[in-house]
Structure 1
């Protein structure tokens, strides 16, 4: 059975649910806190993001990379199928049809989705940041822009640039935590998202940051990443006050769960990469409870400034 747009909504919602359940236990748990309609829309967006990320890297839900994968061809496929989704064409690929179905209900400017695809393209080009600004630009494209799209799914006015900045901050905080946690895994895959200027400042030779002799200096960079993540998380938490209760609950829970990753990496110091940092189920449920309690209280009134934080690009008049 199909809806007015020609999509099998029931099948696509099921596919999207399975995608987030397999791809991210943390996001899957936090998404349960949304109301049903928002939750299903969030799942549809996640399914597209997950599939596009996997296509870029030649993976299945973040698993092992396929040797000899043609990343450039994958980016071409992502752009082509995404274009068809925006043209309201059924593609036959459930992840891209999930995006098409979402677009029948939510107006996400194509420029925002293109910003996300630009992040996949950076990975496909084996791009590496030279400066801290480069790092933050990358974090925006791979996660901050997703935060903007998520805010639109949650009903934020596309013209509310201030709120969309805060949504971008949440994604950036998540990605900074990911980078701090995954330094060793990225190095094993011949990737590095630590700015070259940081390496020079700490006198770490190119490509040698995982050498045991440089572990104390590497932990300094992890501390910097964790502190940056905390700043962006604080900004996003203040912005969440404008969301509806259920969406605020989900966002604050996710912020706490992911924030714990950065905090754990920082707390471990030189041993941060002995095993992968993760939040326990007990800790995650604790954040769900704390976020729920905060929603019942009066939202914080003291404004958290964005002064000094990186600001996302503007897309005035972007077509949908």
Structure 2
């Protein structure tokens, strides 16, 4: 596949994502690098979420990605990691951040995560979300310190929002990402995922996580307010859209039966217009 064909293929992969609208506003080199990072994330996430696949086989597939990433950085034939080769070279993306994303996906393969401790949940969020942010802010051209801070806070905010939005979907495949300590405080017995998420007291558990997400959004907004350098319309868009999803969830609560709150496409378009004039 030549470079142009690969770019079109990567664009097609990302086009259904809520991130796509923000990515399209980036300059060409940054846009194509983000398509590549997204394609990498999609590939390893699909391995982690393949409910039909054997855990051992899925682990081998993830390990191959780790091997290929290492080959890319060591100057050897990169295999499937060739999709991020140009982005790595142009923007100085770090090997450790790709490894962190793979490590996060491996957590889902090693076992179905159920009621992790706050510390384990935070580690999971760092790997599957903030590490992606660390790759992204380099592409966006941010300086290191505000970039790392934004990755930390916005990555966790977005991942916690997704966890709160996907409680029922996750429980259906045997996963409950809400933290152990909050369940203990609420007095919910940890039996099966289906029973746990059906307990009316889960609203208190979810609200404790929502409060953490709100704090992370507030910290991210403070970083944006400092007007850091970089092409930041994409992270601003995600912050604006998903913080509203969190507010809507807090308004309706998490008692069953729950209805999945979605990002408004019309709202995304309006936010893009507003941010385009603001930046």
Q: TM-score, normalised by structure 1?
A: 0.78
Residue 257 (1) aligns with residue 251 (2) = no
Unaligned runs of 5+ in 2: none
Residue 9 (1) aligns with residue 8 (2) = no
Q: Is the Cα contact below 8 Å between 2:88 and 2:94 reproduced in 1?
A: no
Secondary structure at 2:200 match in 1: helix
Question: 1-side partners of 2:257 and 2:136: how far apart?
Answer: 31
1:172 shift after superposition: 1.0
Residue 280 (1) aligns with residue 264 (2) = yes
Match of residue 144, structure 1, among 125, 130, 155: 130
Question: 1-side partners of 2:195 and 2:109: how far apart?
Answer: 26
Question: 2-side partners of 1:81 and 1:212: how far apart?
Answer: 40
1:1-320 correspondence to structure 2 within 5 Å: 8-22=2-16, 24=17, 26-58=18-50, 65-69=51-55, 70-93=57-80, 96-126=81-111, 127-128=113-114, 130-157=116-143, 160-208=144-192, 210-211=194-195, 215-240=199-224, 241-244=227-230, 247-270=231-254, 274-295=258-279
Q: Is the Cα contact below 8 Å between 1:222 and 1:265 reproduced in 2?
A: no
Q: Give the total of aligned pairs.
A: 275
Question: 2-side partners of 1:13 and 1:77: how far apart?
Answer: 23
1:201 shift after superposition: 0.9
Secondary structure at 1:114 match in 2: helix
Question: 1-side partners of 2:48 and 2:197: how far apart?
Answer: 33
Higher helix share: 2
RMSD: 2.3
Question: 1-side partners of 2:79 and 2:107: how far apart?
Answer: 27
Secondary structure at 2:91 match in 1: coil
Unaligned runs of 5+ in 1: 1-6, 59-64, 296-320
Question: Which of 200-209 and 40-49 deviates more?
Answer: 200-209
1:293 shift after superposition: 4.1
1:287 shift after superposition: 2.1
Question: 2-side partners of 1:233 and 1:77: how far apart?
Answer: 35
1:234 shift after superposition: 2.1
Question: 2-side partners of 1:175 and 1:8: how far apart?
Answer: 34
1:35 shift after superposition: 2.1
Question: 1-side partners of 2:19 and 2:3: how far apart?
Answer: 22
CA pair 290-210 structure 1, distance change in 2 beyond 3 A: farther
